[in-house]
Amino acid sequence: MTHDGTWGALDKIAERLGLSVSGLAKGCGLDATAFNKSKRWTRYGKPRWPSTGTVAKVIEFAHITPEEFIQLMREV
């Protein structure tokens, strides 16, 4: 599990659904900016990870299994 892999999986899911990452976030009931590339790192250069609750919302919204999410993470 890597930072790039986790965010890459979210990017791929948005693409598969024909959405921007903002559209994916809104579809999951999150703020439209939640998945923006600018929010993936702190201003001090530390990685910012999505919470497990956020990942669960994406999995539910996209109608995929946790295993499918993990596979997408590995493909990055």
pLDDT 10s digits, 43-65: 999 999 999 999 999 999 999 99
**Whole-structure pTM value:** 0.93
Confidence band of 72 (pLDDT split at 50, 70, 90): very high
Nearest to 35 by CA among 17, 55, 18: 55
* Dihedral sign of CA atoms 20, 26, 28, 31 in order: positive
C-alpha to C-alpha distances, 44 to 5, 19, 50, 63, 75, nearest whole angstrom? 21, 29, 17, 35, 28
What mean pLDDT is predicted for residues 63-71? 98
pLDDT 10s digits, 5-31: 999 999 999 999 999 999 999 999 999
| pLDDT score of 8 | 97
The answer to whether domain 3-74 has CATH 1.10.940.10 is no
